[in-house]
């Protein structure tokens, strides 16, 4: 029996994000191990939407066969022959590292193989900055989206990694047109409690961000109700806090809370989660077999906005 908590709403590509991406310079997207149905479908739809110029890596015959299944003529796009997952991952990453592509996208290969290629210093994508994953999550009915970081890459991010996440989120929100973004540090309480270590860390991060990052508001610790609900902010006497009840981004303390939050928004409300890894030379897209088509296209759109403002 299907859980009554699960929504039947389908994720929808956020129109505002798509419009920004279509106005940006179309990125060359290197797709690692592209010769499978899901990555080819994502490339096909994103190319038709005008937000991607694909660069395929992998088995040439498999790539052409998948394109034929879609009725897609790809003779005008580059195909770089690579045998197996590891070689395709290295080839796609090196293509970006050498400046021949602007975005790196995971195709039909295991995430650990893909990220090993992205992280290899031989491929030229490392910048010395910390890599952080950011989700841009929007509701199918529209309204203001929210960023969540980090729900997919850093398992137990230290304070420096979370500071990088705050910086990336503010930068991304500025590029999305939000002049004074509001960033919340997630915990289970709005008070600093010794029994809840994340609460003290959230306060420390808030104080650091207020001192170091201009043109943004920061608050923390905040529990989820105070991040999302204006009513909770009033009830708890925090209506004068600039972030409470109106956050644009959430910085989570570790991967379990972040992963749970993003999946709750997707599976319980039909949110569209566009994800990108920031901190490398180019945006990195960690698409998943479970991602709906809308999330894949939205992820490409997010990367297009990022690389256009790089």
pLDDT digits (tens, 9 = 90+) for 63-121: 999 999 999 999 999 999 999 999 999 999 999 999 999 999 999 999 999 999 988 88
How many residues can be counted in the chain?
Answer: 310
The per-residue pLDDT of the chain, averaged, comes to: 94
Q: Which residues contact 251 (CB under 8 A, 6 or more apart)?
A: 149, 162, 165, 166, 169, 183, 184, 185, 186, 202, 205, 220
Options 3.80.10.10, 3.40.630.30, 3.40.718.10, 3.40.50.2300; CATH for 132-275 is 3.40.718.10
Q: What local confidence, expressed as pLDDT, does residue 310 receive?
A: 62
Residues of the chain with CATH 3.40.718.10: 132-275
Distance, CA of 41 to CA of 111 (rounded, Å): 19
CATH of domain 25-127+280-310: 3.40.50.10950
258-272 pLDDT, tens digit each: 999 999 999 999 999
What is the pLDDT averaged over residues 117-131?
91
What end-to-end distance do the CA atoms of the chain give, in Å?
47
Residues of the chain with CATH 3.40.50.10950: 25-127+280-310
Q: Which residues contact 87 (CB under 8 A, 6 or more apart)?
A: none
pTM beyond cutoff 0.85: yes
Q: What local confidence, expressed as pLDDT, does residue 87 receive?
A: 94
């Amino acid at each position: 029996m299907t859980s009554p908590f699960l929504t039947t709403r389908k994720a929808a590509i956020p129109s505002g994000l798509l419009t920004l991406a279509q106005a940006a310079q179309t990125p060359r997207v290197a797709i690692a191990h592209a010769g499978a149905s899901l990555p080819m479908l994502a490339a096909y739809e994103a190319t038709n939407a005008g937000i991607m110029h694909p660069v395929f890596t992998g088995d040439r015959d498999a790539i052409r066969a998948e394109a034929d299944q879609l009725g897609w003529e790809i003779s005008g796009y580059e195909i770089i022959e690579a045998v197996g997952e590891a070689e395709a991952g290295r080839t796609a990453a090196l293509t970006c590292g050498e400046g021949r592509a602007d975005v790196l996208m995971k195709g039909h290969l295991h995430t650990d193989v893909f990220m090993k290629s992205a992280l290899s210093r031989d491929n030229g994508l490392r910048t010395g900055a910390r890599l952080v994953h950011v989700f841009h999550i929007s509701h199918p009915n529209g309204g203001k989206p929210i960023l969540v970081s980090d729900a997919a890459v850093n398992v137990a991010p230290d304070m420096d990694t979370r500071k990088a996440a705050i910086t990336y989120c503010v930068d991304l929100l500025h590029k999305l047109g939000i002049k004074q973004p509001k960033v919340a540090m997630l915990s289970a309480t709005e008070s600093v409690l010794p029994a809840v270590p994340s609460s003290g860390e959230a306060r420390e991060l808030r104080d650091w961000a207020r001192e170091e990052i201009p043109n943004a508001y920061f608050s923390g610790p905040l529990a989820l109700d105070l991040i999302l609900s204006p009513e909770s902010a009033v009830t708890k006497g925090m209506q004068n806090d600039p972030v409470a009840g109106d956050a644009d981004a959430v910085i989570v303390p570790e991967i379990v809370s972040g992963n749970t939050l993003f999946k709750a928004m997707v599976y319980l409300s039909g949110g569209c989660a566009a994800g990108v890894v920031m901190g490398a030379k180019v945006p990195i897209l960690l698409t998943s077999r479970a991602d709906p088509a809308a999330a894949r296209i939205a992820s490409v759109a997010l990367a297009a906005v990022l690389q256009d403002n790089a």
